[in-house]
Structure 1
Amino acid sequence: MKDSFADTLKQFRTDKKLSQQQLADMLFVERTTIANWETGRRIPDAVLLLRISKCLDIDINILLETIDNTVEEPNVIMVDDESIILKGGMSVIGNLLPNASVTGFTSPTEALTFAKSNRVHLAYIDIEMGKLNGLELCRELLKINPRTNVIYLTAYPDYALEAWDTGACGFAVKPLSAEQVRDQLTRLRFPIRGLRL
């Protein structure tokens, strides 16, 4: 098996006897960004790939090949303040998306904390939840990562008009079913690499 981007970056960095902080300073990024790349949690964009190539004196094609070998496990979250709905929905999602990492939250604040340190590809969000409702949570998630696909879950379809104004890409009525998940996955705004049904 060929090396992943994470392994290749770490190898070239250590060969140059650079710490993560030193490389971060050369690339004008945070040290945590380097750590995320080297653990495989994130992959740099094209501009940063070019900078890495120059800083570490690597042929950019080597980096591009390693990115092709890196299949990022999609992060899917579900946020619902009712644990029974959360468990049922996570079971449906987990069965349909076996190669995704599915994490559930009863607290919108915990979901936001998770999203700040993990790239969330897809978020299923209940609309009515305590202090921070699903509409506000969607806006906050999209501030963290504008390419997060958000699908609202609700028992009240009359929220649909207000929900579309937040940047979400889908809407499902509870309880979440396999048919709804399959249907919504065909309508995602931002395709998710490595997501297979």
Structure 2
Amino acid sequence: MSKIFAETLKNIRTEKGLSQRELAERLFVTRTSVNRWENGSRLPDAAMLLRLSEALGVDINILFSAAAKGDVPPRVIMVDDNRIILNGGMPILEEVMPHATVTGFTKPTDAIEYAKKERVALALLDIEMGSISGLDVCRDLLRINPRTNVVFLTAYPSYAIDAWETGASGFMLKPITAEGVREQLKKLRYPFPSGGIDT
């Protein structure tokens, strides 16, 4: 987890003259939770980072920035068999999530192999990709890591019901936009620090 975030939180808390227990009481969490954040074994989600910023009276971006500078940047993949769409989407993902490692794939099998080696935080998947469906790729990714957030990208709204049945976190209609990605990041089942100012 993030040693930088752990040190940042501990320093801010001590500067404010609060014990771990006092901070925990302000947040309605256990002292153990605060201790885990400060020893680097756990990282609070986006909603808790907002509560921490309010409880400590600090700018939320300080906490987001510290959380985003973890030991291993979050891995984000985009899978689409259309190279033009992939090439157009990659810069948008990098803009919205500047601290993430963003990788694109035109072949779903390559994306699955990547996910077996790297812990994928977010996968944006096209649904129609030749003989392989993005719905099946989603199921494979979630078997590899149940905490992978999957957002489907498609030009066909009729896929929405099938998409939800896979355990995906979201659904976006093409073309991909920065605003659309930011909205999806707010709805993830397993939020992660991406470095974007609106996350």
Cα distance between partner residues in 2 of 1:146 and 1:168: 10
1:132 deviates by: 1.5
1:195 deviates by: 1.8
**Matching of residues 62-101 of structure 1 within 5 Å:** 65=39, 67=41, 71=70, 72-101=72-101
One-letter amino acid of the structure 1 residue matched with residue 195 of structure 2: R
Cα distance between partner residues in 1 of 2:169 and 2:126: 14
What secondary structure, in the 3-state scheme, does the structure 2 residue paired with 1:125 have?
strand
Check 1:66–1:162 CA distance in 2 against 1; reply closer, same or farther (3 A cut): closer
1:196 deviates by: 2.3
Contact in 1 for aligned 2:3/2:39 (Cα 8 Å): no
Check 1:124–1:3 CA distance in 2 against 1; reply closer, same or farther (3 A cut): closer
Cα distance between partner residues in 2 of 1:79 and 1:124: 6
Cα deviations across residues 132-184 of structure 1 (Å, max 9, x unaligned)?
21000000000000000000000111100111000001000111001110100
What secondary structure, in the 3-state scheme, does the structure 1 residue paired with 2:120 have?
coil
1:67 deviates by: 4.5
Q: Unaligned 5+ residue runs, structure 1?
A: 5-60
Instruction: Give the structure-1-normalised TM-score.
Output: 0.65
- Residue 10 of structure 1 corresponds to none
Cα distance between partner residues in 1 of 2:83 and 2:146: 27
**Matching of residues 1-197 of structure 1 within 5 Å:** 65=39, 67=41, 71=70, 72-192=72-192, 194-197=193-196
Cα distance between partner residues in 2 of 1:82 and 1:140: 21
Cα distance between partner residues in 1 of 2:93 and 2:77: 10
For the aligned residue pairs, the C-alpha RMSD in angstroms reads 2.3
1:66 deviates by: 5.3
Q: Give aligned-pair identity as a percent.
A: 54
Q: Which has the higher contact order (CA 8 A, sep 6+)?
A: 2
Aligned residues: 139
Cα deviations across residues 54-86 of structure 1 (Å, max 9, x unaligned)?
xxxxxxx9xx73557971300000000000000
Cα distance between partner residues in 2 of 1:89 and 1:149: 17
Structure 1 stretches of at least 4 aligned residues deviating more than 4 Å after TM superposition: 66-70
Q: Unaligned 5+ residue runs, structure 2?
A: 5-34, 43-65
Cα distance between partner residues in 2 of 1:195 and 1:117: 20
